[in-house]
């Protein structure tokens, strides 16, 4: 059975290039895992919520398991395939560490940029708190930039699922100037997004919406 992922049949224009199915597509491409895509119009249905309680995408099914959470799915794909998790136990644990760091120590700060600039842009408090939100994220990114240093990837010369997740999270900042303030981080994201597997994943993601209207 070919693994199947679920994502949206349609998303508004601002969300194209940002939906989390990209992370899962990217992981599949890196390990050479074919996958099928099931497109859904609505993730808030009882049927979808049966195993995605938050009514979101992606979800993932293979011959053995059925899970949600892009981070858990990427780890699953990395564990089954070759190329995203080193064999060395210490390096393997660090790769998992970076996946969790991306999701818990970086993404919540990245997401707040979207909250003030997009989702709550019309709220009276968003303009007031934007400087603080940006300063907090800037601090996180400075810490991460220091950890990356002049290394190619977070753990050195070997690209792992930890880089995949971190670059996916940081890529959400592409319409802002937050990344450009940390040259090595901006280069790191560009390096990750230039990988053939990422290019293919992003192209396949965007192709779903190529002929779709901006508003439904």
In the complex, the residues that contact its own copies under the rule CB under 8 A are 49, 53-56, 64-69, 71-72, 75-76, 89-90, 93-94, 96-97, 99-101, 103-105, 107-108, 111, 120, 123-125, 128-129, 132, 140, 143-144, 146-147
Strands 4-8 and 66-68: unpaired
Cβ-based nearer residue to its own copies, 64 or 157: 64
Min dist CB 203 to its own copies, Å, is 26
Closest separation in Å from C-beta 112 to its own copies: 8
| Cβ distance to its own copies smaller for residue 72 or 202 | 72
Helical packing angle, 161-171 and 107-114, nearest 10° = 20
* Residue number, 22 or 208, with CB nearest to its own copies: 22
Q: What is the largest CA-CA distance in the chain?
A: 52
Q: How far is the CB of 128 from its own copies (least distance, A)?
A: 4
Sort strands 4-8 and 59-61 into parallel, antiparallel or unpaired. Answer: antiparallel
Residue 146's CB: how many other CB atoms inside 10 A?
10
Least distance in angstroms from the C-beta of 108 to its own copies: 4
Q: Least distance to its own copies from the beta carbon of 47, Å?
A: 14
In sequence order, which residues have a C-beta less than 8 Å from that of residue 165 and are 6 or more positions away?
23, 71, 74, 98, 99, 102, 103
**Residue number with CB closer to its own copies (83 or 86):** 86
85 Rama sector, left if φ>0, alpha if ψ -120 to 50, beta otherwise:
beta
Of 43 and 212, nearer to its own copies (C-beta) is 43
Nearer to its own copies, 108 or 156 (CB): 108
Name the minimum Å distance from CB 22 to its own copies: 16
Contact 142, 178 (CB under 8 A): no
Give the dihedral of Cα atoms 84, 86, 90, 92; nearest 10 deg.
30
């Amino acid at each position: 059975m070919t693994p199947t992922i679920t994502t949206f049949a349609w998303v508004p224009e601002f969300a194209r290039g940002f939906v989390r199915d990209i992370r899962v597509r990217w992981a599949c491409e890196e390990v050479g895992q074919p996958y099928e895509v099931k497109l859904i119009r609505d993730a808030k249905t009882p049927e979808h919520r049966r195993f995605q309680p938050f009514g979101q995408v992606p979800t993932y099914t293979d011959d053995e398991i059925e899970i949600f959470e892009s981070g858990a799915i990427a780890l699953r794909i990395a564990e089954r395939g070759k190329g995203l998790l080193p064999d060395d136990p210490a390096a393997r644990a660090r790769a998992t560490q970076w996946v969790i760091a991306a999701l818990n120590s970086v993404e919540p700060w990245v997401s707040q940029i979207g909250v003030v600039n997009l989702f709550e842009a019309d709220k009276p408090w968003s303009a007031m708190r934007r400087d603080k939100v940006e300063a907090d994220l800037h601090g996180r990114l400075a810490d991460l930039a220091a950890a990356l240093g002049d290394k190619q990837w977070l753990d050195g010369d070997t690209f792992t699922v930890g880089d995949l997740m971190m670059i996916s999270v940081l890529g959400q900042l592409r319409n802002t100037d937050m990344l450009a303030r940390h040259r090595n981080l901006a280069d790191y994201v560009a390096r990750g997004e230039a990988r053939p597997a990422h290019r293919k994943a992003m192209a396949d993601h965007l192709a779903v919406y190529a002929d779709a209207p901006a508003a439904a």
